Structure 1
Amino acid sequence: MSQSAVAYSVQQSVASLIMHNPPVNALGKAVRVGLVEGIEKALADDAVKVIVITSDIGFFSGGADISEFSTGDFEPNLSTVVLHAIEQSTKPVVAVLPGPAFGGGLELALACHYRITHKANKVGLPEVNLGILPGAGGTQRLPRLVPVQQALDMVVSGRPQSVTKLPSVFAEIVDSVEQLPAATQTFIENLDLTADIPRTCDITVDSASFDPALFEQYAEGIKKQARGFFAPFNCIKAVQAATELPFPEGLQREGELFLECMQTSQARAQQHFFFAERAAGHVQDYDKSTPVRDIKKVAVIGAGTMGGGIAMNFANAGIPVTMLELQPEALEKGLSVIRGNYERTAKKGKLTAEDVEKRMSLLTGTTSYADLADVDLVIEAVFEKMEVKQAVFKSLDEVCKPGAILATNTSTLDINEIAAATSRPQDVIGLHFFSPANVMKLLEIVKAEHTAPEVIKTCMQMAKIIRKVAVLVGVCFGFVGNRMIEAYGREANRLMLEGATPEQVDKVIYKFGLPMGPFTMGDMAGLDIGYFVRQSRKAFIEHDPSYCVVADKLVEDGRVGLKAGKGVYLYEPGNRQPIPDESVLEIAKQEAARLGIEQRKISDQEILERCIYPLINEGALILEEGIAAKASDIDVIYVYGYGFPVYRGGPMKFADEIGLDKVLTAMNKYREQLGDYGEAWFKPAPLLEKLAQQGKTFN
């Protein structure tokens, strides 16, 4: 068979159009042209009675080729040319789906007259995740085939659906993919070729089948979760158009709403992030010839919150884990917490009782390093102190087999120093999981000075197995994420000294799009964590007597956050809702007076600029130093690790969007306004200055 984008063949009066555009049959120009030509050829051939559109790669179609968004070459247009030709075909068109159909792929199937698939298959319209809506008739055809509420759920959430939940979409759903060829042949043989062709566009949505208030209620219901996003609300309007307008006008309305989405900063940000996430996996540190080590057995040192969460990732992926704690009680408690986590998940219906037992059976505990002699990978998750970690690695070096990967979960410490405690620095790497480790998608993989390329490659591939998004970074204090968050937290604390209230700062940052502000985040994580880090970095901060002084006083007074019932805020037992505390403002006032800092009213705009712009500036320094290979890697770290809003694309993309000259001007303004403090902390990174002056962007 010819390996063109769409292969055409005729057999027993059936014309088959077989898409072949690996890896996911993206509907690029060649596929669109092939489909139109195939339909025209079949219609011109009197011997052809039925047309089949299918795929030979196990994926029906992953949808539009979004790299075309930047070129603007959409001809032939998927909606008005390709799908119109298919739907208006005078011969029946059958879509046979051997695998998933997403976005434009599902829209293609919906434009066909009949659809056949198998029970294990999934379909969906995920365009909302790119800041847009289905723009090839998906919002108009789907509500004509399924209940309006179900169509709204699919279009607005973007989540894939099992085909078994869409019986009205498919003419036939067989038990397995292997049965598709025979089932298709039987279906075609039984087709009444004299009957009218069932075109989705000819169906009218029954207005009595849904509550007229549905769309308004739906928009209200998603307000909180869709905060900051534009596309979900246009998705609702598009589905509503399908219930109110004839198909051609509905299609036109969909197109208008699609263009509105495309012109937003949210769409640009979300599409940037789509590519950034994929680009994070492409690194220069190894190539195809670099070997990979087998990871069949893992050990985790430390059975606390972090160690337990890390262990769960591997058990979830079916990989046996040995957990080491020197105290039997701590080990028992750690395994018990993991069981509790799994049982709570089972209660929610997301795991079966058998799943819980299967995963627990993969977890074993030990109090002896000798039991780690045969593991392929060991991850240390103990107290964040250099001497403690070096002692652990010295023990691992003595017992682990040659070729075992020795990883540390440190979030700030120098991995080169940790590696120096072993005789095999080439096998040492950082695997920085984010808390809770069994939930958070990000994994910062930190290459040390001597880490071997095959160790890096093995860990990057291992991340996919445990369903993490891996970003490769270099060694410096805090790596990428925590090094940048230092600037953000520092400014929030300084703003409190200058007169802003914690709730004002948190409100500004929440409104910007983060899930919580810096003071709420500090209380949730525990203020003592930052305190211990500051104690270990006195040389870095001693020139600034104002550095986090209020936070230090709170910790020294036992106010370490939510776990103590009081931190920056107060908390009622069993309630995570922060309660503002006037006494904290009094401490800030006293410290400001002691330091000669005049308190004043601070605008929301200044708060936003002083928290976010230094974070961006630190990102520029990180790029200059080569700690991150590309700006988009920083964006991935911040969206997945710190809750930076994806509709802003990450901090570096946000800077690109508003203009680097704006960031530079603000940095210089605060550098001048804030005296010695400004000179110390608001000096623009040379890369920021250079790119701003050249009118360029980070990405």
Structure 2
Amino acid sequence: MSETVTETRTTYVDHAGFRFAVLTLENNSHRPVTLGPASLAWFEAAVGAIDVSRVDAVAVTGEGSVFCDGADLKMMTDAAGPEQAEDVARRGLDALGRLAALPVPTFAFINGTALGGGLELALHANYRTAADSVRAMGFPEVRLGLVPGWGGIPRTVALLGATETARLVITDSLAGKNLSARRAAELGLVDVILPEDGFLPASLDFAAGLLSRPAMAATAMSAPATEATAAPQTSKGHGPSRTVMDGSAALDAVRRQLDVPLRGAAPAPYRALELIAAAAAVNKQAGASAVNTAGNARDLAEIKAFGELLLSDEARASIYAFHLTQSLAKKPAGRPAAQPLPVRSVGVVGAGLMASQLALVFAQQLRVPVRITDLSPDRIDIALAWIAGQLDKLVNRGHLTATDAQAIRVLITGGTDKAAFADCDVVIEAVFEQLEVKRAVFAELEPLLPPETLLLTNTSSLSIEAMGASLARPGRLIGFHFFNPVAVLPLVEIIAVPQTDETTLATGFELAKRLRKTAVLATDTAGFVVNRVLTRLFDEVLALIDEGSDPMVVNHALDPLGLPMTPLALLQFIGPAVQLHICETMHQAYPQRFGVSRSLTMLVAAGLPGYLDHDGGLSPSAAALLPPTTLTDAGKVRATLLGALAEEVTVMLDESVVAGPEEVDLCMILGANFPFHTGGLTPLLDREVGSAFHPELRVPVPAAG
């Protein structure tokens, strides 16, 4: 696979009495600016070609909205052995080290996105400016199963201390969060925020101002951008003058937090913690000489950690998952070429919690009128009050202005008369999950609506074809399954039937895009994708418990995989009654593989909230419904559960429920919060069960020697 080469263009600028060599990262192929082997070589050559005797400073910047998106992931995954994997880190450290070693002051003018290796590049400069429009600065490596391998950890520790570095490199990375320019400045990661308009001249003004201060310039010129001189002294207290060692207690707390969801399943965050602790230990020693003395050994540790992680199953799965969320999400399989219809108003049938969430997300993202109906005026009032409360929370958290919140609030109205939907371009139902109830809703709606109005059902498992069988125009009905909480989870399962016309389907895909959701097309089979997989898991878990296996052993058997919740905790979140209904639906569709649990049926009849108590143990009330337990082997339970999931995914693919295993994985990542290190689901099953969904993810590693 060829590299998308980022070139480094050098221009010389005379500004305010100083001469700058400005290195601009640019990609003439209109692809993201990334750094692979050829790009690094180009950058290193550009730095080496500068005649430092003829310039006062060197600056690095980007073009448009991107400074640098980081390392070229596609090129990195070509590494097939330890030496090649370590060489990825070594090349980056060598190339960026050339900038740090220059005997003149160096600047990074961060004009846009600076992620991973891009942020590490900026940290190799003495000083950093950032445009006020920058919204993405951070280290995504840990989420990708890696660690920052080009000096990012020690340089960030020197600037921010161990605690803030752990938050940025580990906690934020795993959560998919990045820093805005303003937040980066507050932390001390950048030195000044400048307006996007006129950013380069303003950055040169800032640099010239520093260069005009003899003491400041002399400091930078006498020492390269090591950890001890990586940022200027400022009135905000940024840089090496602040206390940068926070003690091991904070890192121990981060480790304990990691253990709760991951339980050691993903190695990258733990290796990152080790590197942060090592960098903090170096910073405890006095003076830059101690830092530099430890530099070589620390670089070797960083190179070794990066190389080992790059070849790990978790990194391969994580990088695969990342590409899914970037590429497949933007170009979903099955989207027709037909022109979508406009959506200028939306109707929501129902006023429960899910319907209220839908109304809010439609109004907030589309900024069109949204009408809610229900049989009870009181339920309408409760829904509108809940929506108003959510908007107030968004304002209080700084996610919306008061003006925007009020504009959204007035878009949402409610009443009991469905005739108010007569001018709606889209109507979605979110009523009780029962086929006859939903069919009755659509039968009532159809005469009231224009022929081209798109009909959506938020069903989680019912047949779309059966739901629309009595409609005069069944081709305009599609499944549009959101996940709870609607504002958070980005997946929408779109379910088409043979009668679905292409304009309807195209409108559904475009609507999902406008709602900032990722759409995955599924065929009209019970449970679709996410609920089918999860229900098979629940079915196996509950069958083992009903047969006398220890409930706690069964519930925690998958813990070593680092999934977001245990099965019984997830069932409690969904609600036993809801899950029982889905189980019954799945049993009717696939009686040979899906059953209906005796204990779950009794649990719902007893009105219990689930199997667990508040501490995550088995509740006495649930225990009273279960048979006596026998000695249970967690390994055998895990094998049983994963074997069942592998079977179900295989059947789903044989039935062409989705286009391929990639769609299954995307659904599990975006709809069920499966972490990147699992690759969704099929790479995990490849490793644990020995399936062959993704043989290309397996990387041969030569034997030592």
Task: With the length of structure 2 as denominator, give the TM-score of the two structures.
Answer: 0.82
Superimposed CA distance per residue, residues 631-650 of structure 1 (whole angstroms, 9 cap, x where no aligned partner): 12212222332344432222
| Whole-angstrom CA distance in 2 between matches of 1:658 and 1:568 | 27
Q: CA deviation at 1:25?
A: 1.2
| Whole-angstrom CA distance in 1 between matches of 2:488 and 2:332 | 25
Matched, 1:33 2:41: yes
Q: Which residue of 1 aligns with 2:205?
A: 186
CA shift in 2, pair 1:103/1:461, >3 Å: farther
| Whole-angstrom CA distance in 1 between matches of 2:296 and 2:78 | 27
Letter in 2 for 1:253: A
Matched, 1:161 2:210: no
CA contact 1:447–1:474 (8 Å) conserved in 2: yes
| Whole-angstrom CA distance in 1 between matches of 2:594 and 2:73 | 51
Q: CA deviation at 1:64?
A: 0.9
Q: Which residue of 2 aligns with 1:212?
A: 247
Q: Which residue of 2 aligns with 1:134?
A: 148
Q: CA deviation at 1:476?
A: 0.6
Matched, 1:291 2:339: yes
CA shift in 2, pair 1:427/1:529, >3 Å: same
Q: Which residue of 2 aligns with 1:250?
A: 298
Q: Which residue of 2 aligns with 1:631?
A: 661
Letter in 2 for 1:559: A
Task: Work out which of the residue numbers 121, 127, 139 in structure 1 matches 2:134.
Answer: 121
Map 1:175-574 onto structure 2 (within 5 A). 176-190=195-209, 191-192=211-212, 195=218, 196-197=220-221, 199-201=224-226, 203=228, 209-214=244-249, 215-227=251-263, 228-245=265-282, 246=291, 247-281=295-329, 282-286=331-335, 290-320=338-368, 321-344=370-393, 356-533=405-582, 539-540=588-589, 547-555=596-604, 558-562=605-609, 567-569=610-612
CA shift in 2, pair 1:327/1:220, >3 Å: closer
Q: CA deviation at 1:381?
A: 1.0
Superimposed CA distance per residue, residues 31-72 of structure 1 (whole angstroms, 9 cap, x where no aligned partner): 32332232233338x655543322222111111111112212
CA contact 1:631–1:698 (8 Å) conserved in 2: no
CA contact 1:409–1:433 (8 Å) conserved in 2: yes
Task: Work out which of the residue numbers 2, 12, 20 in structure 1 matches 2:26.
Answer: 20
| Whole-angstrom CA distance in 1 between matches of 2:203 and 2:585 | 69
Matched, 1:580 2:610: no
Task: Work out which of the residue numbers 68, 80, 94 in structure 2 matches 1:81.
Answer: 94
Superimposed CA distance per residue, residues 501-551 of structure 1 (whole angstroms, 9 cap, x where no aligned partner): 333321224454334433343344333234434555665576799742332
Q: CA deviation at 1:144?
A: 2.1
Moved more, 93-102 or 509-518: 509-518
CA contact 2:159–2:244 (8 Å) conserved in 1: no
| Whole-angstrom CA distance in 2 between matches of 1:144 and 1:698 | 37
Unaligned runs of 5+ in 2: 230-239, 283-290, 700-705
| Whole-angstrom CA distance in 2 between matches of 1:343 and 1:172 | 32
CA shift in 2, pair 1:109/1:457, >3 Å: farther
Q: Which residue of 1 aligns with 2:125?
A: 112
Q: CA deviation at 1:454?
A: 4.2
Q: CA deviation at 1:130?
A: 0.5
CA shift in 2, pair 1:95/1:185, >3 Å: same
Moved more, 393-402 or 72-81: 72-81
Q: CA deviation at 1:129?
A: 0.9
CA contact 2:668–2:681 (8 Å) conserved in 1: yes
Letter in 2 for 1:614: A
| Whole-angstrom CA distance in 2 between matches of 1:443 and 1:342 | 23
Q: CA deviation at 1:402?
A: 4.1
- State how many pairs are aligned: 645
Q: CA deviation at 1:284?
A: 3.9
Letter in 2 for 1:388: V
| Whole-angstrom CA distance in 1 between matches of 2:43 and 2:308 | 28
Letter in 1 for 2:273: I
Task: With the length of structure 1 as denominator, give the TM-score of the two structures.
Answer: 0.83
Unaligned runs of 5+ in 1: 590-598, 662-687
CA shift in 2, pair 1:58/1:343, >3 Å: closer
CA shift in 2, pair 1:458/1:31, >3 Å: farther
Task: Work out which of the residue numbers 47, 60, 70 in structure 2 matches 1:63.
Answer: 70
Letter in 2 for 1:172: V
SS at match of 1:17: strand
CA contact 1:111–1:199 (8 Å) conserved in 2: no
SS at match of 2:21: strand
Q: CA deviation at 1:106?
A: 0.5
SS at match of 1:19: strand
| Whole-angstrom CA distance in 1 between matches of 2:593 and 2:68 | 57
Q: CA deviation at 1:343?
A: 4.1
SS at match of 2:431: coil
| Whole-angstrom CA distance in 2 between matches of 1:34 and 1:14 | 19
Q: Which residue of 1 aligns with 2:193?
A: 173
Matched, 1:8 2:10: yes
| Whole-angstrom CA distance in 2 between matches of 1:515 and 1:90 | 49
Q: Which residue of 1 aligns with 2:162?
A: 148
CA shift in 2, pair 1:26/1:358, >3 Å: same
CA shift in 2, pair 1:317/1:226, >3 Å: same
Q: Which residue of 2 aligns with 1:52?
A: 59
SS at match of 1:161: coil
Q: Which residue of 1 aligns with 2:232?
A: none
Q: Which residue of 2 aligns with 1:683?
A: none
Matched, 1:650 2:680: yes
Q: CA deviation at 1:98?
A: 1.4
Superimposed CA distance per residue, residues 162-210 of structure 1 (whole angstroms, 9 cap, x where no aligned partner): 3334444434322x11131221332454425973435331517689643
Matched-pair identity in %: 25
SS at match of 2:226: helix
Could you list the runs of 4 or more consecutive aligned residues of structure 1 that deviate by over 6 angstroms after TM superposition?
73-76, 204-208, 541-546, 695-699
Q: CA deviation at 1:274?
A: 0.9
CA shift in 2, pair 1:293/1:39, >3 Å: farther
CA contact 1:323–1:364 (8 Å) conserved in 2: yes
CA shift in 2, pair 1:577/1:335, >3 Å: farther
Letter in 1 for 2:129: I
CA shift in 2, pair 1:655/1:34, >3 Å: same
Q: Which residue of 2 aligns with 1:682?
A: none
Q: CA deviation at 1:314?
A: 1.9
Letter in 2 for 1:476: T
| Whole-angstrom CA distance in 2 between matches of 1:545 and 1:79 | 52
Superimposed CA distance per residue, residues 430-485 of structure 1 (whole angstroms, 9 cap, x where no aligned partner): 11011232333322122222334444344334334333333222111111122223
Letter in 2 for 1:201: T
Q: CA deviation at 1:235?
A: 1.4
CA contact 2:427–2:453 (8 Å) conserved in 1: yes
| Whole-angstrom CA distance in 1 between matches of 2:322 and 2:155 | 26
| Whole-angstrom CA distance in 2 between matches of 1:633 and 1:541 | 22
